[in-house]
Chain A
Amino acid sequence: MNAPLSPPSTESLEKLYQNNFSWLQNWLRDRLSCSYQAADLAQDTFIRLLTVPDVNGKIDAIREPRSYLVTVAKRVMIDHFRRKTIEQSYLQALMQQPEQEVISAEQSTIMLETLYRVDAMLNELGPKVKSAFLMSQLKGMTYREIAAEMQLSESSVKKYMAKALQHCLMFSLYEQLEA
Chain B
Amino acid sequence: MSLTSGNVSRQQQTALMNAAQWHVELTDESVTKKAREAWHKWLVEQPENQWAWQRLEKLQRQFVTLPNELAFNSLNASLDSASVQF
Contacts and interface: CB of A to CB of B under 8 A. Distances in A.
Q: Interface size bucket, A side?
A: 35 or more
Contacts of B52: 169
A7 interface: no
Contacts of A88: 77
B40 interface: no
A136 B60 CA distance: 11
Interface string B47-79: 000001001101100110111111111111111
B37 interface: no
Contacts of A89: 73-74, 77-78
Contacts of B74: 86, 89-90, 93, 115
B42 to A, nearest CB: 15
Contacts of B63: 118, 137-138
A118 B78 CA distance: 11
Which of A31, A97, A165, A176 has the largest number of chain B CB atoms within 10 A? A165
A134 B76 CA distance: 8
Interface string A137-174: 11110111000000000000010011001101110110
Contact of B79 (A127, A166, A176, A177): A127
B66 A81 contact: no
Contacts, number: 115
Contact of B62 (A77, A118, A144, A161): A118
A111 B67 contact: yes
A131 B55 contact: no
Contact of B29 (A90, A135, A142, A162): A142
B33 to A, nearest CB: 19
11 contacts: A93-B74, A94-B70, A111-B66, A118-B62, A118-B66, A131-B79, A138-B75, A142-B29, A158-B24, A169-B52, A172-B58
Interface of B: 3, 6, 8, 13, 16-17, 19-21, 23-24, 27-29, 52, 55-56, 58-59, 62-63, 65-82, 84, 86
